[in-house]
Amino acid sequence: MSTDFDAYRILQVVSDADDIVVEAAFRVLARRYHPDGHKGDAARMAEINRAYDLLRTPIRRRRYDRERHLTPVGPGPASVPPPPTNGYAEAAATSGNGHMAFNVVDFGRYLGWTLKDLAKHDPDYLRWLSRSSGGVRYRNQIHELLPDEREAATAKLRPAGHRD
């Protein structure tokens, strides 16, 4: 879990607070920062919702507490850090023609990550994504970021014994 995001700090409660205290803190903060309210702040509200989502049930809270104390061991990350970009807000960016830009992952463990950042952080995930049905819309961008993947994909399509 990233040290930048602390769900307890965001909800302004201590880590051993009762579940009812966590819920009450969420409700008070949600009332204060809801975008439709007097002091509406959509970014702050999104942060509060994310924090509460991590702590709202005993199972999720235990998982969050466990991941919060993980340290990376061996190759690869112990948990997925938040995106190095502006996050999900960038996913709403549109391309020049007014259509949704398909350079930001909008699902799964890398929600909000740009494909370029993912290519640096976890190229194996991008390779998997380019082959999965959920990643079809990202395939061309992944092949541009990982040229060796395009060659591997076209090599599978060539008949045996074919030479360029």
Q: Which amino acid is at 54?
A: L
pLDDT value for 81:
59
Bridge partners of residue 94, in order along the sequence: 100
Q: Which amino acid is at 10?
A: I
For residue 147, CA distances in Å to 25, 49, 73, 139, 154 come to 49, 39, 30, 11, 11
Helices assigned H by DSSP within 12-122: 19-33, 42-55, 58-68, 88-91, 115-121
Place of tokens 């740009």: 114
Question: What are the residue ranges in the chain where pLDDT is below 70?
Answer: 1-3, 70-102, 149-164
Tokens of 61: 């809270």
Question: Whole-angstrom Cα distance, residue 68 to residue 4?
Answer: 11
Q: What tens digit of pLDDT does each residue of 118-149 get?
A: 888 888 888 888 888 778 888 888 888 887 76
Global pTM reads: 0.42
In the chain the domains, ranked by start, together with CATH numbers, are 7-68 (1.10.287.110), 88-157 (no CATH)
